[in-house]
Amino acid sequence: MASIYTHQDKNIRKTWLLMTSFLIVVVGIGWAFSWYMGSPIILYVVIAIALFMNLFSYWYSDKIVIKMTGAKPVTRESERELWNIVENLSITAGLPMPKLYIINDSAPNAFATGRNPEHAAVAVTTGILKLLDRSELEGVLAHELSHIGNRDMLVSTVAVVLVGFVAILADIFIRMTFWGGAGRGGNRGGRLQLILLIVGIIAAILAPIAARLIHLAISRKREFLADASGALLTRYPEGLASALEKISNQNQPMRRQSHATAHLFISNPLGSGKSKGSKINALFSTHPPVEERTKALRGHI
């Protein structure tokens, strides 16, 4: 029977699979470059870069996410109510107190990041603090702490860095085919350069699609689980359900937004929180429709 612990183990396996796949793909691209350019040193450099990016994404991706969102650290003195809510919920959940951050943005939103509960952070916008009452804010923060407890953030945060790096590699791949180099000479070299250019263009097109698919794979189910876990933590599902409805009704995009980090937030920071539109749009959203989430939450009441 599945439990919270099997979910944690599954997310850890997903992270290792993502990092291993990234390593294999990047090394394969490096080998193709080194063969085409006739320089084995390229392969060694690419392997070193791939290993570095894996380690860097694991240890520092949370700091990158915080920097990307413009979040500022919070102290107990500066935001006493917020601090007390998170501290009490952390004690109830049996989790270490995460670092707290605030994003100066009127759009109501929140996210959690970090490789494990001991190195976790929770950030909220100034907009969400103004919009929600205490029980609703507790529901949102319990949701984010549940992501930390479920270890959802491990795979999600690592994906931010690795997916972005793959997109950069695709761009480099195209540029190097234009530069040419010490290839395999003659017509064969020209044909090979054309083939590599086509592959580079395809990679550049597929990179954002791959990023989207990764986000979908790690986002939608984990949101339902975090909603349920958060409701169990507060023992008041209506708080989170009401908060989700208020946030959705605002449907306000954040000033600093990125497709790379959109899946981390409780509501899409790009401003498509409502589930209006075609079924195709709903399918490719990083977040489940709010109506489905609130229905599931109120089913626990």
Average pLDDT by stretches of 10, the chain with 301 residues: 50 69 74 74 80 78 87 94 96 94 95 88 96 96 91 69 65 61 51 64 64 60 86 93 93 80 82 51 66 86 51
Q: Which of 136, 138, 144, 223 is catalytic?
A: 144
For residue 110, give both structure tokens: 């929140």
pLDDT number for residue 75: 93
For residue 156, give both structure tokens: 């999600």
Which residues does 250 contact at the CB level (< 8 Å), separation at least 6? 107, 108, 127, 131, 273
pLDDT number for residue 107: 94
Three-class SS of residue 54? Answer: helix
Fold of 68-152+217-298: Zincin-like (3.30.2010)
Known catalytic membership, residue 144:
yes
Q: What angle do CA 62, 284, 269 make, to 5 degrees?
A: 45
pLDDT number for residue 214: 60
Q: Which residues make up the CATH 3.30.2010.10 domain(s) of the chain?
A: 68-152+217-298
Q: What ranges make up the beta strands (E) of 9-128?
A: 72-73, 99-103, 110-114, 120-125
